[in-house]
Chains A and B, each alone.
Chain A
Amino acid sequence: MTALALPLPVRSAWRRWRPGAAAWTTLGVFLLFAVLVPRFASSGNLVNVLRVAAILCVAACGQAIVLVLGGIEFSFGSSAALASVVGVLAVPWLGPAGGLAAGGAVVIAIGALNGALIAGFGLPPFVVTLGMLMAAAGAAASLVGGQPIDAPPSAAFAWPAAGSVATIPVPILLGAAAVTVLHALLSRSRLGRLWYLAGANPVAARLSGIAVGRVTFLGYLVAGAFCAVTAVVLTSRVGSGQPNLAPNLPFESIAACAIGGIPLAGGEGRAHQVVCGVLVIAMMNNAVVLLNFPIAAQQLVMAVVIIGAVLLQNAGSLPVMLRRALTRRPNA
């Protein structure tokens, strides 16, 4: 290992830190919008972009852990909705901070339940989290009869979304903290190393003595904790219990990871890729609003960017694939 790392320190630093496909994509999207969209590159707007990106980023960090494990997590959106409803309902008993904490605890509990079902019984993550998505959405709606309920206005309840520490908005701090924690977990901790191994090849991991079940369970639990932070910030931002809070959260978080280049097959994925993917989605959402596109066009642009950004990840092999599409194998 040491022998390999010795020569050419300058070049190896570049090798280590050079931007990957995800970073180039993000930079390209940023420059494109900065040139094409008026007012996009103003500092006020960029802080706004970061504020929105940070909320998604925390959930995407959780999603990244699940994807590294070779799983998938659909229940984020409706568990956040359930958290907001439970949180607001709990405010009269526990106070604003306690209510938000109760909401967060609900999300963590759902993550733990998902993890227990997936790790304990070997159920497919797709099925478990899809079922949980519907069940939690139904639970959130039936608790409040389908109607949103307002939280009693209070400074403490609004703080996670609107407050700031030393002029930095709290959501951005939370987003940065989430990325730091994810990076530490994935590349510095024993648990993170086990996540990669269990995701890359669960059978090999089990045969080499790793408790794959426990590692998987912890993965879903930690992912639930990340999503809990997002749920608290979202609840605080809308200031009410919304049974339909963030229906697209699971899909946006998966898209962010995919745009960042994390394969859904498991065993790969780094924290900076999550950041890149989240930034692309946030910049795009911001730009289509600045351009005052109608909703229809906004959705079309979003579709093109999601698919295009993921295609860009393996742009090198596109010509080969296109040629295959145009030639027909004799048997087909």
Chain B
Amino acid sequence: MRTALRLLGGQRFLVAPLCLLGAVIVFAASAPEFLTLGNVSNVGAQMWVLALLAVGQMFAIVTRGFDISVGAVAALSSTIAAHAVNALGPAGLLAGPLTGLLCGTLTGFLIGFLRLQPIVATLGMMIGVRGLALLVTGDGQVVPLHDADLASWLAFDPAFGLPPADWGAIGCILLAGALLGRAVLGRRLVMLGSNPDAAHLVGIDTARTQLRAYQLCGGFAGLAGVLVLLRAGTGLPTDGAGMELQSIAAALIGGTALSGGVARVFPVVLGAAFIQAVLTGLDLQGVSPFIAQIVVGLVIVAAGFLEFALRRFQGFAFHRRSWT
């Protein structure tokens, strides 16, 4: 048991799996069709957009920041990728993550080098990127893909059990896990989040590391935009409102500490799966989506409570205060 706990990285990362388990039990007990193969794969198919956004968000949160522009960036990326695919063919899909990367670079530059507060920089980016998405599409028209077969093949035709787009998402998330746990950059991000002064003193270029965090966040938002594009078959310039808050929620439920320096990729994905399961499960029971919104809100507060309880029972000698 101890070893299992250590493998998972401590109690805080148990929150997401337990929440997911609880949600599955509750929904399966009250709506038998929740556990049918079709529905499980339905949740599985819908969760990857949120999972990509949440993993990106995790990189920002682990450095004590956050990014409320991810929904807007995903929407912009989906429209630009749609234009690029129409012009260049399948290679144009790369334009999505590239757009996200550019947005993330600008955000990271503002936060890392110009020392803006994350809320101000990402709020400005959110508004600006929304405007840009409208500009690119001529006031919010959707951008349909000419080659709809390609999109539906990538997003819906299972190969080895899952559609290729979902395999792509899983691959990117695994890469994120390797980056956070095994790469030098991941180590620097965690160090920066757990103690910026110490990170600076041991010679880490803190500004540049922060820039990298937001680049990763933007890049993953761009990937999420591509996934949205493939699933919908159209670039959606006004989509993604509310996704930023859900992605922050998923990252927090997944054990990422707002005070920085603590994060794991796998629990964050489970956090995203949990939120998607709640939304889909309540939908199956005929509960209005508005009630589902209330539930997600309460779950976020409950996740905060869990952190409070962990702090109390583990007897932390000190409690690091984040800026929030």
Q: A134-B249, A142-B294, A202-B321 are in contact. List 17 more A-B contacts (CB 8 A).
A: A126-B66, A126-B324, A127-B301, A130-B297, A134-B245, A134-B296, A134-B300, A136-B297, A138-B296, A146-B288, A243-B290, A254-B119, A255-B123, A255-B124, A264-B323, A300-B132, A317-B115
Tell me the complex Cα distance, A318–B109, Å. 12
21 A-B contact pairs sorted by A residue (CB < 8 Å): A70-B323, A123-B307, A124-B258, A124-B307, A124-B324, A128-B301, A133-B297, A138-B294, A138-B297, A141-B290, A255-B120, A264-B323, A265-B323, A295-B134, A296-B134, A296-B135, A304-B124, A306-B123, A310-B116, A310-B120, A321-B207
Interface of A: prevailing SS? helix
Q: Decide if A258 is an interface residue (CB 8 Å cutoff).
A: yes
Q: Which chain B positions have C-beta within 8 A of A331? A: 203-205
Count of chain A residues near B, Cβ 8 A? 62
Q: How far is the CB of A270 from chain B (nearest CB, A)?
A: 18
Q: Decide if B62 is an interface residue (CB 8 Å cutoff).
A: no
**A321-B113 in contact (CB<8A):** yes
**B127-A299 in contact (CB<8A):** yes
Tell me the complex Cα distance, A127–B116, Å. 21
Q: Decide if B144 is an interface residue (CB 8 Å cutoff).
A: no
Chain B contacts with A in 109-155, Cβ cutoff 8 A: 109-110, 113-117, 119-121, 123-132, 134-135, 139
Q: Decide if B43 is an interface residue (CB 8 Å cutoff).
A: no
A residues with CB within 8 A of B = 70-72, 117, 121-128, 130-139, 141-142, 145-146, 202, 243, 251, 254-255, 258, 263-266, 294-300, 302-304, 306-307, 310-311, 314, 317-318, 321-322, 324-325, 328-332
**A332-B119 in contact (CB<8A):** no
Tell me the complex Cα distance, A168–B67, Å. 41
Counting chain A CB atoms within 10 Å of each CB, which of B125, B128, B299, B303 scores highest? B128
Q: How far is the CB of A205 from chain B (nearest CB, A)?
A: 12
**A324-B296 in contact (CB<8A):** no
Tell me the complex Cα distance, A298–B132, Å. 10
**B304-A142 in contact (CB<8A):** no
**A131-B135 in contact (CB<8A):** no
Q: Decide if B51 is an interface residue (CB 8 Å cutoff).
A: no
